Structure 1
Amino acid sequence: MSKPHALRPAALALCLVVAIAAPHADAAKKRKPTKPAPKPVAALSACADLYGATNADWLKANPVPASGSASALGELATQARDQQRALLEAAAKSPQGQVQKLLGDFWASGMDEAAVERDGATPIAPLLARIDAIKKAQEIAPAIAALHQIGIPVVFNFTADIDLKNLDTYMGYFAQGGLGLPDASFYTRSDADARNLLGRYNGYVQKIMVLTGTPAANAAADAALVIDLETRIARASKARADLVRLRSNYNPVPTKDFTKKYRNLQLAAFLKAQGVTAEQVSMADPALFAQLDKLTTSLKPAQWKAYLRFQVGNAMAPYLSKNWRDADHEFRGRLLRGEMDPAPRTQQVLDAINASAGGMMAHAYTERYLTQDAADRAATISRHVREALEASIASNTWMDDATRAEAVAKLQKLKIEIGKPRSDLDFSVQPMGRGSFGSNILIASTWHHREEMKRIGRPNADRRWDVLPQFPALSYDLAHNRLFVTAAVLQAPVLDLKQPLAAQYGSFGALVGHELSRVADTKGRYVDAGGNLRDWWSPTTTSAWQGRIAPLQGVYARFAYPGKPDLKIDGARTLGENAADLAGLELAWTAYARQEPQAADNAQQAFFRGWARLWAQQLSSDATATHAQASPYAPGQWRANAPAMQLPAFAKAFSCKAGNALFVADGERVSIWR
Structure 2
Amino acid sequence: MHMDLVKSLLLDPNDMDISVHPGTDFYRYANGGWISRNPLPPEESRYGTFDLLADQNKAHLRQLFEDFITGDPEKSDPSSRKITAFFQTGLDFHKSDDSGIDPILPHLERIRAIRSMGSVQNELSRMHALGLSPLFNFYGAADLKNSQLVIAEIYQGGLGLSDRDYYLDFDLRSEKIRGEYWRYIQQCFLLCGSGNEEAREQANDVMELETALAEKSMSRIDLRDPFKIYHKTSYQGLTEICPEISWKSFFSKLNIEKPEEINISQPDFFREVSLLIKGLGVNKWKSYLEWNWINGFAPYLNEELVNLHFDFYGRILSGKEVIQPRWKRVVQSTNQVLGMLVGKFYVEKHFPPSSKKRMLEMVENLRQAMRTRIQSLDWMSDATKEKSLVKLNRIRLKIGYPDKWKDYSDLEIGTDSYAENILRSLAFEHRFNLSKIGKPVDQDEWGMTPQTVNAYFNPSQNEIVFPAAILQPPFFYADGDDALNYGAIGMIIGHELTHGFDDQGRHFDENGNLADWWTEEDATRFKKRAQGLVDQFNKYVVMEAITANGELTLGENIADLGGLNISLTAYQNTLPKPTEYTVSQGFSGFQRFFISYARVWANSIRKEELIRRTKEDVHSLGEMRVNGSLPNIDLFYKAFGISAEDRLFIDPSSRVQIW
| Equivalent residues of 1:500, 1:606 under 8 A apart | no
1:316 equivalent in structure 2: 297
Does 1:294 find its partner at 2:278? Answer: yes
Q: Within 5 A, what are the aligned runs for 1:272-671?
A: 272-277=252-257, 278-283=259-264, 284-285=266-267, 286-291=270-275, 294=278, 299-300=281-282, 304-460=285-441, 462-542=443-523, 545=526, 580-597=559-576, 601-602=582-583, 605-606=588-589, 608-616=591-599, 617=602, 619=604, 622=607, 633=620, 636=623, 639=626, 643=630, 646=633, 648=635, 651=638
Q: CA deviation at 1:196?
A: 7.1
Q: Give the stretch that moved more between structures: 540-549 or 281-290.
A: 540-549
User: Structure 1 residues 614, 182: closer, same or farther in 2, change over 3 A?
Assistant: closer
Query: After the TM superposition, which of the residue ranges 657-666 and 447-456 deviates more from structure 2?
Result: 657-666
Contact 1:388/1:587 (<8 A) preserved: yes
Partner deviation per Cα, 1:5-58 (whole Å, 9 max, x = no partner): xxxxxxxxxxxxxxxxxxx9943599xxxxxx99xx99xx98999877766864
CA contact (8 A) 2:142 2:441 kept: no
Q: Deviations over 1:427-479 (max 9, x none)?
A: 12343233421111112222122222222222215444444432211222222
Structure 1 residue 388: Cα displacement:
1.5
8 A contact 2:317–2:608 mirrored in 1: no
Query: Aligned runs of 1:129-278 on 2, under 5 Å?
Result: 129-132=109-112, 134=114, 137-181=117-161, 201-214=181-194, 216=195, 219-221=196-198, 223-224=200-201, 227-228=204-205, 231=208, 234-235=211-212, 238-241=215-218, 244=223, 245-255=225-235, 265-277=245-257, 278=259
Kindly tell me: are residues 409 and 342 of structure 1, through their superposed partners in 2, closer, same or farther at Cα, counting changes over 3 Å? same
Shift of 1:109: 1.2
Change (3 A) 1:375 1:229: same
Amino acid at match of 2:370: L
Distance 1:406 1:195, change over 3 A: closer
Count of residues in Structure 1 that have an aligned counterpart in Structure 2: 631
CA contact (8 A) 1:370 1:419 kept: yes
Query: Relative to structure 1, is the Cα distance of residues 533 and 343 closer, same or farther in structure 2, using a 3 angstrom cutoff?
Result: same
Deviation at 1:385, TM superposition (A): 0.5
Aligned with 2:88 (options 80, 105, 108): 108
Asked if the contact 1:548/1:670 (under 8 Å) is kept, the reply is no
Structure 2: runs of 5+ lacking an equivalent = none
Query: Are 2:49 and 2:603, in contact at CA under 8 Å, matched by a contact in 1?
Result: no
Write the distance in 2 (CA, Å) between the matches of 1:418 and 1:405.
Answer: 27
When residues 139 and 658 of structure 1 are mapped into structure 2, their CA distance, relative to the original with a 3 A threshold, is closer
Could you say if the C-alpha distance between residues 671 and 262 of structure 1 is closer, same or farther in structure 2, counting changes exceeding 3 Å? closer
Moved more, 74-83 or 192-201: 192-201
Corresponding residue number in structure 2 for 1:89: 66
Give the distance between the partners of 2:558 and 2:391, measured in 1 at CA. Answer: 20
> For residues 541 and 164 of structure 2, what CA distance do their matches in structure 1 show?
39
2:628 and 2:236 map into 1 onto residues whose CA distance is 59
Matched-pair contact (CA < 8 Å) for 2:232–2:261: yes
3-state SS of paired residue (2:583): helix
Letter in 1 for 2:123: A
- Whether the aligned pair in 2 keeps the contact of 1:612 and 1:640 (CA below 8 Å) is no
CA contact 1:357–1:448 (8 Å) conserved in 2: no
Task: State yes or no: 1:79 paired with 2:56.
Answer: yes
Distance change >3 Å, CA 261–CA 338, structure 1 → 2: same
Change (3 A) 1:609 1:92: farther
Distance in structure 2 (CA, Å) of the matches to 1:340 and 1:394? 52
Q: Tell me the distance in 2 between the aligned counterparts of 1:628 and 1:294.
A: 36
> Using a 3 Å threshold, how does the CA distance of structure 1 residues 516 and 553 change in structure 2: closer, same or farther?
same
Contact 2:86 2:413 in 1 (8 A): yes
User: Do 2:581 and 2:589's aligned partners in 1 also have CA atoms closer than 8 Å?
Assistant: no
> What amino acid is aligned across from residue 54 of structure 2 in structure 1?
A
Moved more, 118-127 or 87-96: 87-96
String of CA shifts for 1:561-618, please: whole Å, max 9, x gaps: 9xx9xx9999999776555444323322332343453675238934641541342336
CA deviations 1:393-446 (Å, max 9, x no partner) are 224333211111110111111111112345432312343233421111112222
Partner AA of 1:639 in structure 2: V
- Structure 2 equivalent of residue 128 of structure 1: 108
Query: Quick one: structure 1 residues 151 and 223, their matched pair in 2 at CA, closer, same or farther if it must change by over 3 Å?
Result: farther
Contact 1:73 1:615 survives alignment (8 Å): no
- Listed one character per residue, the Cα deviations across residues 631-660 of structure 1 (whole Å, up to 9, x for unaligned) are 854755982896389455995xx7969999
Q: Which has the larger radius of gyration?
A: 1
8 A contact 1:134–1:305 mirrored in 2:
yes
More displaced 10-residue stretch of structure 1: 655-664 or 506-515: 655-664
Q: CA offsets, 1:186-221, max 9 Å, x none?
A: 77899998887666555444433343344x3xx523
Q: Does the Cα contact within 8 Å between 1:233 and 1:292 map onto a contact in 2?
A: no
SS of 2:510's partner is coil
Check conservation: 1:179, 1:230, Cα contact below 8 A: no
Change in Cα spacing, 1:634 to 1:261, as seen in structure 2 (3 Å) is closer
Tell me the percent identity.
Answer: 24
> For residues 147 and 189 of structure 1, what CA distance do their matches in structure 2 show?
30
**Cα distance change on mapping 1:584 and 1:335 into 2, 3 Å:** closer
Q: How far does residue 236 in structure 1 lie from its aligned partner after superposition?
A: 6.5
What SS does structure 1 have at the residue aligned with 2:151?
strand
DSSP-derived class of the 2:588 partner: helix
8 Å Cα contact 1:585-1:644 kept in structure 2 = no
Could you tell me how far apart the structure 2 residues matched to 1:202 and 1:59 are?
A: 36
Q: Distance in 2 between matches of 1:624 and 1:440?
A: 31
CA distance in 2, matches of 1:447, 1:523: 32
Distance in structure 1 (CA, Å) of the matches to 2:421 and 2:256:
24
> What is the TM-score normalised by the length of structure 2?
0.78
CA distance in structure 2 between the partners assigned to 1:228 and 1:555 by the alignment: 43
**Displacement, 1:254?**
2.8
Distance in 1 between the 2:187 and 2:502 partners? Answer: 50
Task: Label 1:541 to 1:153 Cα distance change in 2 as closer, same or farther (>3 A).
Answer: closer
Root-mean-square deviation over aligned CA pairs: 4.9
3-state SS of 2:131 partner: coil
Query: Judging changes above 3 Å, is the alpha-carbon distance between structure 1 residues 338 and 268 closer, same or farther for their aligned structure 2 residues?
Result: farther
Q: 1:221 to 1:614 in 2, by over 3 A?
A: same
- Bigger shift: residues 470-479 or 615-624: 615-624
- Stretches of structure 1 that go unaligned for 5 or more consecutive residues are 1-23, 31-36
Q: TM-score, normalised by structure 1?
A: 0.77
